[in-house]
């Protein structure tokens, strides 16, 4: 099977195949630039990471978080499960000895075996960069290649639910290197996703994008110019350079630490020479409004955010103009009651499992605070603790239920449906939920780097007993509890969850003062 519409695919194959074997690898090997599919994947997330991985001081890297190790392990197990449906050959070679892996894979391809797992493909480009691709699976197809009347097509096996572009780019990269190795383009390539099954990647659509990304990645590796830091928690939190980059960003007071500054907004701000907190804090919002991706609201908020950060104090999102001043939030939006519940869930979304409903019961009259952890010690207990949660919250039918972000409401709705809980129980419950994240971001601008619970509560002086704990770590602890039966892991989860509930309580009390100091209990 050759490419039918070859004009739509790149006409030139990567340069000649380097068929050196492992014996030729010498001390100079470490000087070579190996651009693997993993490097390309990382480049799409962050060019700086690719640069640091190649040229950075390795001692500055931090230990990978447990959660990353867990993701790798889950991914490996998933791959083995998918591979086990049919026999396969697997080349044997010393770890990261790409040339040995390539030689062993080539041998299997020459023999024309049906399936090759974890093969290594390699090609050396004119610029001296060695492209290395490791598809999870190579499957034999009818067609013509340098081996004879057959060729191979690549498949990647991914844990993710969706065929994200970076997955598709990686498999297009396999196809690109494979074309050079077998002297023929494979017509097809696929992803096997955990929930969606097999997904055919459109090479005609993705190859041009892959080539652009590959070009950028090669320039980053060859030019040796360190890309600017830009902290984005969604991509940086699991990166081994995080501490190093975060220190650099903090010492420069980099604008990526200012909530609301995205990479594209940052580019527009730099073009206007607005590169510091001071210049943004004094900029007229009108100057920013017309920039792409801004608008009046974003512009105003950004200027105030810079002011709040510089002054290290909370600012009202909209200044009170009425006389006498009216509360920023009504009592129905932010109720105070004799008994209040503070609620936080621990869940493993990829397993569709809720393993802890943590509820802090605050009795303002009796001046007591009681933490009630409803914990599923095993997967099968999820339904039991859901019913325990319902019993607990129904004991206090008038108590508002404070939480932070929409996840708790979404989960209660989902569990209600899943366990067939009658709507006459769920509906009144949902009306008692108060999302403090929504209230805080609606009325206040705070000198924090993000509006997650931790930075806000920490700014208010609250400290978690375990400073390193977070939701991802909690999932790892739960896995370790299941694997070892060591109850210390459960204790760590409960301690973290209780602190989350108490932090939510702290934020609520602060918000009452900030928004409506004259409020009285209902």
Binding site for ligand SF4 (CB under 6 A): 46, 48-49, 52, 229-230, 235-236, 239, 241-242, 245
Nearer to ligand SF4, 48 or 130 (CB): 48
Both tokens assigned to 405: 């972000």
- Where are the alpha helices (H) located in 277-406, listed in sequence order? 277-281, 285-289, 295-311, 382-395
**In the complex, minimum distance from the CB of residue 460 to ligand SF4, in angstroms, rounded to a whole number:** 27
Nearer to ligand SF4, 46 or 507 (CB): 46
**In the complex, minimum distance from the CB of residue 61 to ligand SF4, in angstroms, rounded to a whole number:** 10
135-174 in b/e burial notation, b at 16+ Cβ within 10 A?
bbbbbbeebebebeebbbbbbbbbbeeebeebbbbbbbbb
Nearer to ligand SF4, 62 or 311 (CB): 62
State the Cα–Cα distance between residues 341 and 501, nearest whole angstrom.
Answer: 9
| CA 164 distance to own-chain centroid | 13
Edge-to-edge strand list for the sheet holding 353-363: 368-375, 353-363, 339-348, 401-403, 433-435
Torsion, Cα 69 71 73 75, to 10 degrees, reads: -150
**In the complex, minimum distance from the CB of residue 233 to ligand SF4, in angstroms, rounded to a whole number:** 9
Beta bridge partners of 130: 34, 124
Tell me which residue of 396, 405, 347 sits closest to 370, measured CA to CA. 396
Strand boundaries in 160-264, DSSP class E = 190-193, 197-200
Nearer to ligand SF4, 202 or 243 (CB): 243
**In the complex, minimum distance from the CB of residue 476 to ligand SF4, in angstroms, rounded to a whole number:** 20
Nearer to ligand SF4, 199 or 242 (CB): 242
Nearer to ligand SF4, 177 or 255 (CB): 255
Query: Where do we find the tokens 């196809």?
Result: 175
State the Cα–Cα distance between residues 377 and 394, nearest whole angstrom.
Answer: 23
**In the complex, minimum distance from the CB of residue 170 to ligand SF4, in angstroms, rounded to a whole number:** 17
Tell me which residue of 145, 126, 139, 235 sits closest to 189, measured CA to CA. 139
**In the complex, minimum distance from the CB of residue 235 to ligand SF4, in angstroms, rounded to a whole number:** 5
**In the complex, minimum distance from the CB of residue 452 to ligand SF4, in angstroms, rounded to a whole number:** 17
Mention every residue, 6+ apart, whose C-beta is less than 8 A from residue 8.
204
Nearer to ligand SF4, 213 or 412 (CB): 213
Which helix H or strand E contains 199, and what residues bound it?
strand 197-200
**In the complex, minimum distance from the CB of residue 367 to ligand SF4, in angstroms, rounded to a whole number:** 44
Nearer to ligand SF4, 63 or 95 (CB): 63
Nearer to ligand SF4, 239 or 354 (CB): 239
State the Cα–Cα distance between residues 94 and 97, nearest whole angstrom.
Answer: 5
**In the complex, minimum distance from the CB of residue 97 to ligand SF4, in angstroms, rounded to a whole number:** 26
Which helix H or strand E contains 193, and what residues bound it?
strand 190-193
State the Cα–Cα distance between residues 414 and 267, nearest whole angstrom.
Answer: 40
| CA 396 distance to own-chain centroid | 37
Nearer to ligand SF4, 66 or 381 (CB): 66
**In the complex, minimum distance from the CB of residue 49 to ligand SF4, in angstroms, rounded to a whole number:** 4
């Amino acid at each position: 099977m050759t490419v039918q519409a070859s004009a739509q695919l790149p006409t030139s194959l990567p340069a000649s195949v380097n068929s050196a074997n492992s014996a030729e690898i010498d001390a100079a090997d470490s000087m070579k630039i190996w651009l693997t599919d993993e490097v390309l994947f990382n480049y799409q997330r962050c060019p700086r990471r690719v640069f640091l991985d190649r040229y950075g001081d390795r001692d500055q890297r931090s230990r990978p978080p447990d959660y990353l190790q867990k993701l790798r392990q889950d991914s490996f197990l998933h791959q083995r499960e998918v591979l086990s449906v049919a026999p396969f050959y697997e080349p044997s070679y010393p770890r990261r000895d790409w040339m040995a892996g390539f030689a062993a894979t080539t041998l299997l391809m020459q023999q024309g075996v049906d399936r090759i797992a974890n093969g290594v493909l390699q090609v050396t480009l004119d610029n001296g960069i060695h492209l290395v691709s490791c598809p999870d699976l190579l499957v034999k197809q009818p067609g013509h290649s340098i081996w004879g009347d057959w060729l191979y097509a690549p498949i990647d096996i991914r844990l993710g639910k969706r065929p994200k572009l970076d997955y598709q780019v990686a498999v297009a990269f396999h196809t690109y290197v494979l074309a050079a190795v077998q002297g023929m383009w494979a017509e097809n390539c696929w992803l096997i996703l955990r929930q969606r099954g097999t997904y055919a990647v459109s090479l005609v659509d993705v190859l041009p994008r892959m080539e652009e990304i590959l070009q950028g990645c090669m320039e980053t590796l060859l030019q040796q110019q360190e890309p600017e830091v830009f902290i984005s928690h969604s991509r940086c939190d699991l990166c081994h350079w995080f501490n190093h980059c975060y220190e650099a960003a903090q010492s420069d007071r980099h604008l990526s630490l200012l909530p609301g500054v995205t990479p594209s907004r940052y580019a527009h701000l730099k073009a206007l020479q607005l590169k510091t907190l001071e210049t943004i804090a004094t900029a007229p919002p009108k100057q920013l409004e017309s920039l792409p991706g801004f608008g009046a609201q974003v512009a105003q908020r950004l200027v105030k955010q810079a002011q709040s950060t510089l002054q290290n104090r909370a600012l009202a999102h909209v200044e009170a103009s009425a006389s006498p001043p009216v509360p920023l939030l009504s009592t129905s939006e932010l109720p105070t009651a004799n008994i209040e519940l503070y609620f936080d869930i621990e869940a493993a979304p990829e397993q569709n499992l809720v393993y802890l409903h943590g509820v802090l019961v605050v009795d303002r009259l009796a001046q007591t605070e009681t933490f009630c952890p409803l914990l599923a010690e095993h997967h099968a207990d999820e339904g039991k603790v859901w019913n325990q949660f319902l019993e607990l919250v129904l004991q206090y039918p008038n108590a508002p239920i404070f939480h932070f972000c929409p996840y708790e409401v979404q989960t209660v709705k989902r569990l209600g449906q899943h366990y067939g809980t009658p709507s006459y129980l769920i509906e009144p419950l949902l009306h008692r939920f108060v999302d403090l994240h929504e209230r805080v971001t609606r009325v206040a601008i705070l000198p924090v780097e993000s509006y997650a619970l931790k930075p806000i509560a920490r700014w208010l002086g609250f400290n978690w007993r375990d400073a390193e704990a977070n939701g991802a770590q909690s999932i790892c602890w739960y896995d370790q509890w299941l694997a070892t039966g060591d109850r210390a892991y459960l204790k760590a989860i409960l301690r973290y969850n209780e602190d989350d509930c108490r932090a939510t309580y702290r934020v609520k009390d602060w918000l009452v003062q900030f928004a409506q100091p004259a409020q009285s209990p209902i």
